[in-house]
Amino acid sequence: MRVFPFLFFLLFGLNVTFSQVVVNGTFNSTSSGWSCGPEATYFETTYGGSNPSNRVAEVDAGAGLCQTISGFSIGAVYSLDFICSRRTTCGPAVQSMNVSVDGGALAATAVSRTGGFGFTAESFEFVATSTTHTIDFTATIAGTCGLIVDDISINPVSLLPISLTDFSLSLSEDCAVDLYWTTKSERNNDYFVVEYSSNGADWQAIGYEDGAGNSSTTLHYSFTDPHPKMGISYYRLKQVDTDGNSAYSHVISTVTNCDNTKLFPNPTEGFVFAAGNKEVSDFRCYTVSGIDLTNRTKIGCNKDSQQIEIDLSKLPGGTYILLIDNKKYKVIKI
C-alpha cells in the first residue's frame, strides 16, 4: 500500500486559493441560496427534457439567477461552469442570456441555444478582483420562455507544474467510466490522484497514477472507475509534486443511468458478493423451481449499500436465482 505524503491543499504558484462554494448549484433544494427572482421549482421535463427527477432553473425575462459567493483569492483565476439548454416547450427558436461576475471580473457575456432540448457545458474564466463576488444570469430576450441551466459551480483554474492538454471521459457499455488525460510536459510531477464527487462539492480519492517526474514529451494517462453511482458523477485530478505541493484540474462529469451490478465469485463455495453502481434495497433467493429460500441466507452490506455480501453456506450445492432489486442473477453453489 502506498503511503501518501502530507498534501498542501493549494494551487501551485504565487496565489493561494480558498474555498468557493455555490450554494444549491444543482437546484435540488429548489431556489434556496439564489436571488434575482429565481425559477427553480420544476424538473427538466417541464421544459422539454427527459429526466423527471432532475430539478433545474429557468432564466427568462421574469426570472433571473444571482448569488454572492465569498472565499476568493484576489488575483487568482477561476472558472464559472454550468450546463445549459434551450427550452423547447415554448419560446423563440433562439434563446439567450448574459452571464457576468461583478467587480469587473467577467463582463456580461452572451450565451445562446437553438434546437431541441439538450444540455451542453459552458465555462467562463475570470480573475478575482475581490474576496467576494456575485455571479449573475440575466435573460436578453422578452417573454417567459428562456434558457434552462443546471450544475452551476466555480472552480479554481490550477497553475499546474505540468502542461495538461486534455482531460476527458467516456462511458463504457458496462457503465464503467474511463478517464483520459494527456500532458505535454511535466516538471517534478510525482503522481496524480483521481477524485470523485456525486454533488460537485464533496470529493473523495478513488485512485492514483504515477507521474513521469520530468518530461518534455507528450504522455497519455488513463484510469477506470468501474462502479460509479447512478446519476451524475464528477471527476477531477489532483497533481502532486515531488515536494508535496498539489494542484487541481478542471472538473468533468457524466451521467450513469444503467445498473452494472455483478456477482462474484460464481460459482461459489458459500459467499457471493453483489457490487455495482446503485444501492441495493431488496434481495430474494429462489431455487430454479421457484421455492423461496431467502430465510436460509444471510445478507450484509457496506456503509453505502453498493456492495452486499450474501451467505449461501447453509444451502446445498446447486443452481439458485438471486433477485436483487427485481433483476435476476443465476449463481451456482458448489
The CATH number of 44-156, from 2.60.120.260, 3.40.50.720, 3.30.1490.100, 1.10.10.10, is 2.60.120.260
Q: Which of 217-221, 278-282, 298-302 has the lowest mean pLDDT?
A: 298-302
Give the model's pLDDT for residue 158.
58
Q: Judge contact between 283 and 294, C-beta under 8 A.
A: yes
CATH number of 162-256: 2.60.40.10
Top-confidence range, 40-54, 171-185, 220-234, 282-296? 40-54
Among 46, 44, 42, 40, residue whose Cα is nearest residue 24: 40
Coil, helix or strand at residue 17? coil
In sequence order, the 6+-apart residues with CB closer than 8 A to the CB of 1 are none
pLDDT digits (tens, 9 = 90+) for 284-320: 888 888 888 888 877 765 444 467 788 888 888 889 9
| Average pLDDT taken over every residue of the chain | 85
More confident residue, 215 or 190: 190
Give the model's pLDDT for residue 116.
95
Average confidence (pLDDT) over 81-110? 95
Q: Which of 28-32, 77-81, 226-230 has the lowest mean pLDDT?
A: 226-230
Q: Judge contact between 210 and 191, C-beta under 8 A.
A: yes
Give the model's pLDDT for residue 110.
96
Average confidence (pLDDT) over 55-81? 91
Top-confidence range, 3-7, 100-104, 213-217? 100-104
CATH topology of domain 262-333: Immunoglobulin-like (2.60.40)
Beta strand 177-197 pairing with 219-225: antiparallel
**pTM attached to this predicted model:** 0.48
Residue/partner pairs of 207-212 with CB below 8 Å, 24 or more apart:
208/2, 211/162, 211/186, 211/239, 211/240, 212/183, 212/186
Alpha carbon distance 51, 237 (integer Å): 29
pLDDT-derived band at 31, boundaries 50, 70, 90: very high
Whether the predicted pLDDT of 75 surpasses 90: no
Peptide bond into 265 cis (omega under 30): yes
Length, in residues, of the chain: 334
Q: Which amino acid is at 153?
A: S
pLDDT-derived band at 118, boundaries 50, 70, 90: very high
44-156 and 162-256 share one CATH topology? no
Domain boundaries, the chain: 44-156, 162-256, 262-333
